[in-house]
């Protein structure tokens, strides 16, 4: 299997990294060579002579094969703000990201590409995360943060994905607020309104246990949907 998947979310801190790492672990259990990519990241720390992002480092560590950091996260910006602002001195170029993705694709069975922010988060002065997904021509997984406002955010994001002409492989809910009121009822409304495959719910955890989180994901649906993208 040679597949790729673009992972977007309803907002910043929606649980995209948890979802990406959970899927990486699940696919590795099926003996797939899986790598993660975080093309653009803001809010980085200076480590070993370069800016590095905590989420991108987690994807690097979880990948099936050792990879240089700059291949996983080509654009790493210091300031924890929108990439178009943080990267005004070194704006994102889609062609470079396509080249890095193609390199990863040649090395692995599955490449999981995690976006930054939401679907329409700007990556430079004129383009958004959606343009990156279009440039890579990848199916999209929508990560829905279960919190107040998520029904609206998820509905708008799914509509935008479909309007862009990309296939939404499905959606995965992430419990990010342990004090959320009526989470089960909200989940039922999402299931009724989001016309895409439902893959499961990642429950709230203070520290992520990806083995445990993965038990809630419908791996059969994921594998079937990924195979359809080949």
* Residues with active-site annotation: 38
Category of 170 on φ-ψ map: left (φ > 0), alpha (ψ -120 to 50) or beta: left
> Does residue 22 have a known ligand-binding role?
no
> Does residue 175 have a known ligand-binding role?
yes
For residues 226 and 110, is the Cβ–Cβ distance under 8 A?
Answer: yes
> Does residue 143 have a known ligand-binding role?
no
Q: How many CB atoms lie within 10 A of CB 34?
A: 23
> Does residue 197 have a known ligand-binding role?
no
Largest CA distance in the chain: 49
Give the whole-angstrom CA distance, residue 163 versus residue 123. Answer: 19
> Does residue 184 have a known ligand-binding role?
no
Pairing of strands 45-47, 50-52: antiparallel
DSSP string, 42-62: -S-EEETTEEE-HHHHHHHHH
> Does residue 115 have a known ligand-binding role?
yes
Of 148, 149, 191, nearest in space to 172 by CA: 191
Structure tokens at 125: 């002065």
Length of the chain: 230
Binding residues for Mg(2+): 17, 55, 114
Binding residues for substrate: 42
């Amino acid at each position: 299997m040679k597949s790729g998947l673009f992972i977007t979310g309803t907002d910043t801190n929606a649980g995209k990294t948890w979802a990406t790492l959970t899927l990486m672990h699940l696919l590795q259990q099926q003996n797939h060579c899986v790598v993660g990519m975080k093309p653009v990241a803001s809010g980085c720390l200076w480590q070993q002579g370069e800016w590095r992002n905590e989420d991108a480092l987690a994807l690097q560590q979880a990948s099936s094969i050792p990879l240089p950091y700059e291949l996983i996260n080509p654009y790493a910006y210091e300031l924890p703000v929108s990439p178009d602002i943080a990267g005004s001195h070194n704006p994102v170029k889609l062609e470079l990201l396509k080249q890095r993705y193609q390199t990863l694709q040649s090395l692995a069975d599955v490449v999981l590409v995690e976006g930054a922010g939401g679907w329409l988060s700007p990556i430079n002065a004129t383009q958004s995360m959606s343009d990156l997904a279009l440039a890579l021509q990848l199916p999209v997984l929508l990560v829905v943060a279960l919190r107040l406002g998520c029904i609206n955010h998820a509905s708008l994001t799914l509509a935008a994905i479909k309007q862009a002409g990309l296939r939404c492989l499905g959606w995965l809910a992430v419990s990010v607020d342990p004090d959320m009121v009526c989470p089960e009822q909200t989940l039922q409304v999402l299931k009724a309104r989001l016309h895409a495959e439902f893959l499961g719910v990642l429950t709230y955890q203070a520290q992520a246990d990806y083995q445990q989180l993965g038990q809630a994901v419908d791996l059969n649906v994921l594998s079937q949907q990924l195979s359809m993208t080949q």
